[in-house]
Structure 1
Amino acid sequence: MTILGIDPGYGTIGYGVVRFDNMKFTPVQYGAAKTAPGTPMHLRLCEIYDDICTLVDTFHPDEVAIEELFFSKNVTTGIQVAQARGVILLALAQKGLHPVSYTPNQVKLSVVGYGGAEKKQVMEMTKSILHLTKLPRPDDAADALALAICHGHSRQAMRYEGLL
């Protein structure tokens, strides 16, 4: 199964593509799509839409994992990220995909084994699980890879429980 993990944003959208087969993860590609600061938001959203469609057309994922939004301090930034996430969900839906959302704590628990893990711990475990020689960069790509790993673990658990 090919899993596309997406860390939504409006300036940087992390993505990670992995193959998952019987609890073995193999990295395919990871990186980030970027939009330029100062570009009007409606044009940034168009770029994000096009980038997601290109990722899907290039890698043909079987399943997609996307991070659930978490609002902390800056509501304006949160609204912009929510707009970008909506465009990402639209692009995925139009490509016939049904993304599964995971909270940051679910990802940490799945990848590290502790829902309160630090970002560095998640990045180190992601590197280890995928047998990478260095930490995945940028951070948004590392987050997207961790989302894909979380989804693979979730699917495997569902199989063991007879839910799939």
Structure 2
Amino acid sequence: MIRVIGIDPGLRNLGWGIIDVSGPRLSHVANGVIVSQGDDLARRLLSLHAQLTRVLVTYRPQSAAVEQTFVNKDGAGTLKLGQARGIAMLVPAQAGLEVGEYAPNTVKKTVVGVGHADKGQVAHMVRMQLPGIEIAGPDAADALAIAICHAHHGGASGLAAAVARASA
């Protein structure tokens, strides 16, 4: 069994979701949304770091994945998101984990089947793959989708091998 954390970076809200992968089976462990605290950028980033570190210490994942940042028209907003993404990559790296990175369209295509799915479709398919869970919000649903994507793309080696055998 491999425990995987998926992280959906955000400066205000950082989603996280943890699954266990055992062969072709996925099971939900936990999910949540970290809300940054502080009046300035440095304090908000520090808050994200401290809270995400607590999540990793509590759940002890063995593999991590982060969604890649897309560049939009707001350069300042993209830069701030990139800094939050740096925290999302730094914390697992500090815990000694390899960190996979996935484009938003790759995550959506893996979980939903289409690369331009909306957040509602992503949450629905996460619920289908992890029945009975309560999702802490759209950011947590995205984080769980990132973890599922990582499992399917080799981040949790046992599942990738099982999927390859099943499709042959």
- TM-score norm. by structure 1 comes to 0.89
Cα distance, 1:133 vs structure 2:
5.4
Determine the structure 2 residue equivalent to 1:152: 151
Cα distance, 1:30 vs structure 2:
0.5
Is 2:16 the partner of 1:15? yes
After superposition, the CA RMSD in angstroms is 1.7
CA distance in 1, matches of 2:125, 2:91: 30
After superposition, residues 118-129 of structure 1 pair within 5 angstroms as: 118-129=118-129
Amino acid at match of 1:123: A
Determine the structure 1 residue equivalent to 2:92: 92
Give secondary structure in 2 for the equivalent of 1:17. Answer: strand
Unpaired runs of at least 5, structure 2? none
Cα distance, 1:3 vs structure 2:
0.5
Query: More deviation in 125-134 or 95-104?
Result: 125-134
Cα distance, 1:141 vs structure 2:
0.3
Cα distance, 1:11 vs structure 2:
0.5
- TM-score norm. by structure 2 comes to 0.87
Is contact 2:28–2:133 with CA below 8 Å preserved after alignment? no
Cα distance, 1:32 vs structure 2:
0.4
Unpaired runs of at least 5, structure 1? none
Cα distance, 1:132 vs structure 2:
2.6
After superposition, residues 64-79 of structure 1 pair within 5 angstroms as: 64-79=64-79
Is contact 1:6–1:144 with CA below 8 Å preserved after alignment? yes
Is contact 1:31–1:141 with CA below 8 Å preserved after alignment? yes
Cα distance, 1:87 vs structure 2:
2.1
Is contact 1:126–1:145 with CA below 8 Å preserved after alignment? yes
